Amino acid sequence: MPIYEYHCGACQKDHEIIQKVNDAPLAICPACGGALQKKLSAGSFSLKGGGWYKDGYSSKQEKPPEKTKESAPKKETAAEGTAKKSEK
């Protein structure tokens, strides 16, 4: 059964009432007896499972490319380091 929200103009309280869809809206405040007004509220729901429906992306996660030895920065050897110093 859905939850409906009402606002009382007399006591300025908001009430959440569980009612059937076919039930008539309430008119009298259960706290003070004042006039109730039915409020419009956003419905809440949760999508189950993965996929773009829930989080905006597909459920298949793409793996980042693996690093290869060729793409890694090359380290200088001791011989290369001394050769560069002697060139200067």
Pick the CATH number of 1-43 from 1.10.287, 2.60.40, 2.20.28, 3.40.50: 2.20.28
Instruction: Note the pLDDT of residue 27.
Output: 92
| Residues sharing a CB contact under 8 Å with residue 33, sequence separation 6 or more, in sequence order | 10
Instruction: Note the pLDDT of residue 42.
Output: 73
Q: What is the pLDDT along the chain (88 residues), one digit of tens a residue?
A: 788 899 999 999 999 999 998 999 999 999 999 999 999 877 777 666 665 555 555 555 566 667 666 655 566 666 565 555 555 5
Instruction: Note the pLDDT of residue 3.
Output: 86
Domain ranges of the chain: 1-43
Instruction: Note the pLDDT of residue 73.
Output: 59
| Residues sharing a CB contact under 8 Å with residue 14, sequence separation 6 or more, in sequence order | 5, 6, 7, 8, 39
